[in-house]
Structure 1
Amino acid sequence: MKTYHFIVVALGLLTAGCQSGSEPSTSPSSDASATAAATGAAAVQSWPASLTIVGSGFPNAGDACRVIGETAATVDFLDDSATLVGCLDAADAAKLGGKQVGVVDGVTLVSVPANHAAGGDGDGQGDAKVAGTDYNATAQIRCSGVKGAAGGTCEAGVKRDGETGAVVEVTLPGGGQRVILFDKKGKFLTFSTAQADGTAAMKISSGRDGDTTIATLGSERYEIPDVFVQGD
């Protein structure tokens, strides 16, 4: 009986030892989770490589959110009549007044209508300006052929003038600008060109695709929605 008692005690000690030794094995897993969470949080503090960041702030320079260009991660979120904006902080995104369309690598994406700042359209109070600019509206428009570049999007702003018509100013990738003129009814007139940059020698033409004007200057092509030119 004594021998049996000794074996039972020994087995009990062995079992206790195994249980004691198994406790630290859960700690590294917890630490890894905590580290991963911390890493994920840190990643949201900077703009990921999966997104193309345009400009220095939206809607005004220095603001926390940024205009987002076209990449494989955003192509399904782009809209000709809206600007795609990304915010590192979801709270900043909620203040934009647009529609949240997705989250890419921690960045909240919001589709902001092109006429989001033109609160006076159709209400008898005039055509308001986008804060901090001379534009009645800003948006991303589809563009291609600029310096041989493939299709993508360009930042654009429109100045609507009841006397002479609308002026659309397009910021080109890598710098520079194209100015596109429309009459009071929103019909394409021409591009503003110059001898100095060679644009005066480029062929100008235009066409229509539904409610969008297709304006071309040489090999360059710009797609400009009617709602952007005239407002709603």
Structure 2
Amino acid sequence: MHTTLKISLTTLALALVLPGCKPAATDTATPAEPAVETATPATTAAATPATWPASLNVMGDGFPNAGDPCRKLGESEATVNYLDDTATLAGCLSADDAAKLGGIVVATVEGVTLVSVPSGGGTPGDGDGQGDSKVAGTKYHATAMLKCAGYKGAAAGSCEAGVVRDGEGGPYVEVTLPDGRMRTIFFNKDGSFLSFSTAQADGTAAMKVGSSREGDTTIATLGTERYEIPDALIQGG
């Protein structure tokens, strides 16, 4: 009997101890993964700006007016066959802009549309009272690319020019030089050459002034400088 009681007490002791020895429940929940934010590439706000090819001699900041999308073009290997003393050669990056100029499309160079715009074209202005018109946005009755050479030793090329036909003493032509300076050439009312605008400050007053004729063109010279001005630019048509 003592043996049976001892076993019973032992059994009771184990029953009391075992629940307390139960291992703690293992937390099997998968830890939350950190949120991953997907970076959204910044959207380019503007398209890559169009660029003018190096083969073109682009002049000014707009044609026919400043800020316009087309540009005047000077002489280069790509344009030499399209330059005309009685017209302005312009380049436009789109065919739509070229069509708005109202000239003649003469070529396309590296995606740029070349347009020959008659120099006499413009909007009616006060002119000389005889219906002469002004080139839009300018004081000139016509503009053109003139053959020029010799300014500060420059080789023969083309210079942008504009004519005012109703000057007080007669017509005068303003030629834009390669460095942006202006050279003014005066004519008598009958269209014959008169003189240049010169000054002591820049040394032009000491330069020899002269002129000659080649067909229907006046060759005006100032020292080593040479400018070819066609009668059509001075007199209109």
TM-score by length of 2: 0.75
Q: Deviations over 1:186-207 (max 9, x none)?
A: 1110001011100001111111
Distance 2:195 2:130 in 1: 30
Structure 2 Cα separation of the partners of residues 81 and 43 of structure 1: 36
Find 1:105's aligned residue among 98, 106, 110: 110
Match of residue 136, structure 2, among 119, 131, 144: 131
Aligned to 2:160: 155
Matched, 1:206 2:211: yes
More helix by percentage: 1
Displacement after TM superposition at 1:43 (Å): 9.6
How far 1:44 sits from its partner (Å)?
Answer: 9.5
The runs of at least 4 consecutive aligned structure 1 residues that moved more than 3 Å come to none
AA paired with 1:114? S
1:185-204 to structure 2, matched below 5 A, reads 185-204=190-209
The aligned counterpart of 1:80 is: 85
**Other-structure match for 2:146:** 141
Q: Does 1:50 align with 2:55?
A: yes
- Residue 163 to residue 175, structure 1, CA distance change in 2 (3 Å): closer
| Map of 2:183 onto structure 1 | 178
Q: Give the counterpart letter for 2:175 in structure 1.
A: V
Residues 116-172 of structure 1 deviation map (CA, whole Å, 9 limit, x = unaligned): 12668xxx8521211211111111111111111111111111111175210111110
Q: Deviations over 1:56-111 (max 9, x none)?
A: 01111110100011111111111111111000011111111111111110100011
Q: Classify the secondary structure of the residue corresponding to 1:77.
A: coil
Rg comparison, structure with higher value? 2
Matches of 2:94 and 2:49, distance apart in 1: 8
Structure 2: gaps of 5 or more residues: 1-46
Give the Cα–Cα distance (whole angstroms) in 1 for the partners of residues 206 and 133 of structure 2.
36
Unaligned runs of 5+ in 1: 1-41
Change in 2 beyond 3 A, CA 1:104/1:144: same
Distance 1:173 1:163 in 2: 28
Task: With the length of structure 1 as denominator, give the TM-score of the two structures.
Answer: 0.77
Distance 1:118 1:216, change over 3 A: farther
Structure 1 Cα separation of the partners of residues 88 and 48 of structure 2: 24
Share of identical aligned residues, percent? 67
* Paired residues of 2:123 and 2:136 also in contact (CA < 8 A): no
CA contact (8 A) 2:120 2:133 kept: no
Per-residue CA deviations over 1:31-55 (Å, capped at 9, x if unaligned) read xxxxxxxxxxx99932011101000
CA RMSD of aligned residues (A): 2.2
Instruction: Give the AA of the match of 2:210.
Output: S
The answer (yes or no) to whether the contact 2:176–2:182 under 8 Å persists in 1 is: yes
For residues 208 and 72 of structure 1, the distance between their equivalents in structure 2, rounded to whole angstroms, comes to 28
